[in-house]
Structure 1
Amino acid sequence: MADFKYDIVEHLGVLSENTKGWTKELNLISWNGAKPKYDLRDWGPEHEKMGKGITLSNEEFEALKEIISNL
């Protein structure tokens, strides 16, 4: 597996936490030094491990907000 770097630029919020201390979080993350994107995924305590997640550009995030607001 290739190495990659990430920087949590801004922690936006925690959606939930499980009994093992993992949290589902929304953050702005810069992957490999690129422009930060919205990122939704599970994180282990102290952010030492991460689960699978999704990343969204600003445009995708705005589209998602609009979809949710119309529910």
Structure 2
Amino acid sequence: MPARFQQAKNEGDLSESAQPDVLAAFMITVTQGIAVQAKAGAKRELLEAVAEQAMACWPADPALS
């Protein structure tokens, strides 16, 4: 996954400040955490809110700022 994020950065789809290794670890942590919470019985609405919050932390496109 870090290689794909690096490719996105190289192609300008991620900001210059994006850290591909860190983004990959972040995404793995969030998805595994959501899976654990789902197995433990968390409500779908909460899991979707967690996913939305995670995406709100995503590096912004400087062209859109």
Q: What TM-score do the two structures reach when normalised by structure 2?
A: 0.29
Q: Which has the higher contact order (CA 8 A, sep 6+)?
A: 2
Specify which structure has the higher proportion of strand.
Answer: 1
Query: Comparing both structures, which one devotes a greater share of its residues to helix?
Result: 2
Structure of higher CA gyration radius: 2
